[in-house]
Each structure stands twice: as structure tokens, then as C-alpha cells.
Amino acid sequence: MKEKIAEELTQLIGKEFTIREIEDWIEKPKFTTMGDFAFPCFRLAKKLKKSPVEIASNLSSEFTVKGIEKTEPVNGYLNLYLDVKAYAAVVLNEVLEKGSDYGQMDTGKGQVITIDFSSPNIAKPFSMGHLRSTVIGNALANLIEKTGYKAIRINHIGDWGTQFGKLITAYKKWGDENKVKKSPIVELHKLYVYFHEQAEKYPELEEEARLWFRKLEGGDEEALELWTWFREVSLEAFSIVYNQLNITFDSYNGEAFYNDKMEGVIEKLKEAALLEESSGAMVIRLEEEALPPCLIQKKDGATLYATRDLAAAVYRKGTYNFVKSVYVVGNEQSLHFKQLKAVLAKLKIIWADDLIHVPFGMMLKDGKKMSTRKGKIVLLEEVLAESVNLAKQAINEKNPSLPNKEKVAQQVGFGAVMFHDLKVFRQNDVHFELEDMLRFEGETGPYVQYAYARASTLVKKAETATGHSSQALYETFDSFGETERPLIMKISEFEETIKQAADDWDPSKIAKYCIDLSQLFNQYYARTSILKESNKVKQEQSLQLIKSVKITLKEGLRLLGVAAPEEM
């Protein structure tokens, strides 16, 4: 509707402004008494050489758009009031015709966006600390596709670096092959933690670890064999979690994949005379960009994250020809990505600005960051299992005869954990409290899922009572009034919410939208007795509204990676 209003206003105003400019200026009034939309005329005054009050008055007298009941000029604003009966037909017919494609855009048609997310380190447990990148990245990939782009999901596994020298050292000194085979991730993590405890007492262990990593980089047979084993068992463990969360990837090319691709990048840096020696290491000065030097190669010849990410960026551009390359990585890596873009820009690479770092805050437990090194972690797999168990208990208490209890408990348990993360603006920290996640009241995943299940149950009961499933489309919803207005308005905002969430790389906008829609539906459900409605047209039109809520809620949850149970 905003687009239709903008088109009409552009016709009336003239060619001084574009439809997109006009649409961006249209506001939603704070109070419904001031209209459903408002257009401020102040920016037009200078070009049109008229006062905002006069412009608003003139526009009001000439404005005609189907679905707008009346317009009213007020203090330089043009307030627009929707005809809820006609507007309902515009909105609901579109939802019912498009189904899950409602809100789909073709903005990025034929273009690719790569998105790098999750990226856990091998030989370490998949902790709650990894959840944020995983679920934010998955939701953003879904939003990328919803706006018409092709999303290439990349899991840049942390499978290289000095930590593997530490792990090999620890395994050779204190490891038990049988224990590792029986419970690989748990045992490898114990060894990693124990190494750091011992290294505080015996600093020479750090040098031994560096030696083993140099052997690994040099292709030492024993080092490679252990590293390959660690990687394989880790990926097997990670796949359990990804399967539970229904998250997939197009590429698992990790840090090791770029071992033979870094030399080419280093050569380009040499050719461009960008490398300088600093205390034996090779760096790129970035004073002009107000950034510290970017370390490319250590004194001992070992490579760093920056070297690999430069190689990865070049490889991904060549392989996928992306229009944007997105990195869903924590706030603490912001400097790294500024340096990465600055180095590419110094190489005169025109797509350097197409690299986008999407930062996020930490997952906190008891107000503190979780640390893999110190062993202070909460395993994601255990959290998911506990969440499912609590969901199962709630189902047994509230609806013990529910079919498919196990499946629904998983949908609710997994969804609760994901939604709890995604409802928070990504740059804020998230506090881990499992009991809060599972509440069926308030701003939670189970609350939204329950609203969807309630709508599904209502539709099923109505269809059973009437004996048919009508998809009749109405030219006008004559039975609708102010009771239906909030729901219709909220449903109509879905596409704009998707666009804003995608533009801002912010899935919390979708989560908040789902909460708002669920609250409005529950209010409507409490006030309206659809099954007992004697007026068949009123009943039918109300059901079309509920079906539209269902479609929109389900798609909103899908964008977040959360399932929508038909019954709860």
C-alpha cells in the first residue's frame, strides 16, 4: 500500500521526486486516530515554493487510491485512513494466493551473496558460544533468499592454526587413543584445557606446540594423520547439531583449504610493494586508514587469519562472483575485517567494499563470557537436549494426548533456543537462561509457535464443522471493521519488515514482527467467536483472516529457522 500511495503522490507532485524517495518519507503515525499512514510535506516546500500546509491541503483534495477511505491535511501532514473492508481484500487475497511466497521479492534476481557463518573450531565442543553465529547466519541466509538473491552458505571451519600444535602436543603427552575413540570431542577438549593449565606452570610447552604446528604446516606425516583424525570426528559431531537445527551449508572449506592459495596473495602484496618488515614479521601499514598494521606473516613464516581471509575472499569472488560477501562474526573481530577491506582496497580491488562484516554480541552465562580454553562452556548439544526435555514435560502437563509428542517437543525445544537468540538485536549480548526460553507467555519462541498452533486448530475445527476448505477470494470484506484492522495492518507490513531486516542484517526485526502478530492474533481470538458465528459470510471472511495469519506466522518462523507445529 505504501508503494501505491507513493505512486499516486508522485503523480500529483510531479517529477521533482522519485517514487522511492516519496515512499521512504511515508510514516506510520504514533496513534491510529491520526491515520494509518502520514506523509510529511515539509521537504516539498522549497522545491514547490508553497507552504507544507498548502501542499497537504492540495494533495488531500486530489488524492484517490483504492483502499484509502479518506485523507486529512493536518499541520503540514497528509494523513491517510485505510478503508479496512477494501484493504483487507487487497492484503488477504495476496496472502492466500501466494501462500509461503507471500513477501517474496526479486530484488537480487540472478545475483549471489556468499555468507560465512557458524565456523566452529575442530576438536572443540560445539558450545552455546557458537550458537549466535550459527542461527543469525542461517536466518540471514534465509532473508537473502527471500529478497531474491542466491545465498551460498559457507562454514569456514577453524581447522588450522597454532591450537593444533597444542592439541597434538597434549595428545602425545597425555592422550589415550581408546578414550578419544569412545568420546572424541569430550576427550580432545579435556586435553586442550589441560594443556593450558600445564602451560601456565611449564611455559616450554608453548614452544613444543609451535614446533608441532610447524611440522603440520610442513606436511609431517604423523602430524597430518592426527590432524585429519581430529577434523573428521569433529565434523561428525557438528553434523548432529546442524541436523537438529535443520541448518545446511554449501561449503565446509575451512582454513586449511587455503593453505595452497595464500602464496598467490602474498605475491600480489609484494608486487604492489605493500609488505614491510617489522621485527622479522611481514606487515602492511594502514596509518592512512587510521588502523594498526595488518600482520600477514609471522617471524617464523607462519601465516595468520588475515592471510587466509584475503585468500578466501579472492577465491570466493572467483568461484561465486558474489555481489556481496557477508561474514557473521563476533564484535571482537571488527578490527580484523576493517583491516581486511583496507588491504584489498590498497590492492586496487574494486569489490573490497562488497565485503560486509555482520558483528554480534556475546552469549553470557551468569554474566560472564563462556571460554573454551578455561573449560567454562555450556555444550549446545546438552542445552538442546534439556530444552526438548522441558518442552516434553510442558506438553505432558498441558496436552498429554497430543499426537507426535516427541516431534513437537523437539520443534518447541529447538525453536525456543533459536528464537531466544534471534529476538535480541544481534550486537547486544544474550543472557543464557533456559527457563526463560521455554516460557509459553511473553516474547518467546513457544509463545509464537503456540499462536500458530492455535490458529491451525481453529481453522481445522471450522473446516470440519462446515465440511469444506474454502479459499474464496472477496472483492471487499464487508463484515470487517475496527476489530480486524490491527491484524490486517500487521499482515500487510510483512514484506516491508523483511526488507528492513535484510537491509540491516537484523533477524530480530522478523522475531519481533512474529511476536507482535501473535499478540494481535491472540487478542482477536479472545474477542471473536468464529466457530459460533451464525453469519456465514462473516465466519468465512474471519477464517480467511486467520488463514492469512497462519501463512504469515509460519513464513516468519521459517525465516528464523524455527518450525511451526500444527498442534501443541
Question: How confident is the model over 96-126, as pLDDT tens digits?
Answer: 999 999 999 999 999 999 999 999 988 888 8
Least confident window among 166-180, 364-378, 411-425, 428-442 = 364-378
pLDDT at 319: 98
- Residue 282 pairs in a beta bridge with 277, 297
Q: DSSP string of 317-347?
A: HHHH--SEEEEE--GGGHHHHHHHHHHHHHT
Mean pLDDT, residues 408-418: 96
Q: How confident is the model at residue 304 (pLDDT cuts 50, 70, 90)?
A: confident
Grid cell 590492492 is found at 347
pLDDT of residue 460: 92
**Residue 166 in this model has a pLDDT that exceeds 60:** yes
Instruction: Answer whether 508's CB lies under 8 Å from 426's CB.
Output: yes
Q: Over range 358-382, report the average pLDDT.
A: 73
pLDDT grade for 66, boundaries at 50, 70 and 90 = confident
Helical spans, DSSP H, in 67-161: 84-98, 131-146
Amino acid at site 430:
V
Question: What are the residues whose beta carbons fall under 8 Å from the beta carbon of 75, sequence distance 6 or more?
Answer: 53
What pTM value is reported for the model?
0.90
Stretch (H or E) spanning 526? helix 508-527
CA distance 549 to 538: 17
DSSP state of 36: S
pLDDT digits (tens, 9 = 90+) for 287-299: 999 999 999 987 7
pLDDT tens digit string along 512-541?
999 999 999 999 999 988 888 888 889 899
Q: How confident is the model at residue 371 (pLDDT cuts 50, 70, 90)?
A: low
Q: Which residues contact 355 (CB under 8 A, 6 or more apart)?
A: 313, 324, 325, 327, 337, 340, 341, 344
Q: What is the mean pLDDT of residues 452-480?
A: 83
Confidence band, pLDDT 50/70/90 cuts, at residue 367: low
Give alpha helix (H) positions in 147-219: 162-174, 177-182, 184-201, 204-217
pLDDT recorded at residue 353 = 96
User: Quick one: which H or E segment has residue 450?
Assistant: helix 445-466
- Tens of pLDDT along 125-137? 888 888 999 999 9
Model confidence at 317, in pLDDT bands (50, 70, 90)? very high
Q: What percent of the chain has pLDDT over 90?
A: 71
User: Can you tell me which residue has the cell 576438536?
Assistant: 123
User: Distance between CA 60 and CA 65 in Å, rounded?
Assistant: 11
Host H or E run for residue 372: none
Q: Look at residue 2 in the predicted model and tell me its pLDDT.
A: 86
pLDDT confidence bin for 370, thresholds 50/70/90: low
Query: Measured between alpha carbons, how far is 420 from 399 in angstroms, rounded to an integer?
Result: 23
Please list, in sequence order, all residues whose beta carbon lies within 8 angstroms of the beta carbon of residue 411, skipping any fewer than 6 positions away. Answer: 449, 563, 564, 565
C-beta neighbour count of 94 within 10 angstroms: 17
Model confidence at 468: pLDDT above 80: no
Set of cell numbers at residue 404: 507426535
Q: What is the pLDDT at residue 298?
A: 79
**Eight-state DSSP code of residue 370:** -
Looking at residues 12-29, what average pLDDT do you find?
88
Number of Cβ atoms within 10 Å of the Cβ of 468 = 8
Q: How many residues does the chain have?
A: 568
What is the end-to-end Cα distance of the chain in Å, rounded?
35
Spatial separation of the C-alpha atoms in residues 427 and 334, rounded to whole Å? 12
Look up residue 403 and give its three cell numbers: 499426537
Strand boundaries in 123-167, DSSP class E: 150-154
Task: For 324-356, write each residue's pLDDT tens digit.
Answer: 999 999 999 999 999 999 999 999 999 999 999
Which residues have C-beta within 8 Å of that of residue 155, sequence separation ≥ 6?
A: 116, 117, 118, 119, 249, 251, 252, 254
Q: What crossing angle do the helices spanning 494-503 and 131-146 adopt, rounded to 10°?
A: 120
Q: Is 60 exceeded by the pLDDT of residue 272? A: yes
Cell numbers 545465498: residue: 151
Q: What is the mean pLDDT of the chain?
A: 91
C-alpha pair distances (Å), 375 with each of 10, 191, 199, 386: 61, 10, 15, 20
Cell digits of residue 481: 471493521
pLDDT at 281 over 90: no
Q: Parallel, antiparallel, or unpaired: how do β-strands 281-284 and 294-297 relate?
A: antiparallel
Residue 400 CB burial class (10 angstroms; 0-12, 13-18, ≥19): exposed
Between β-strands 324-328 and 112-116, what pairing exists: parallel, antiparallel or unpaired? parallel
* Angle at which helices 204-217 and 221-244 cross, to 10°: 90
What three-state secondary structure class fits 251? strand
135 contacts 437 by C-beta, under 8 angstroms: no
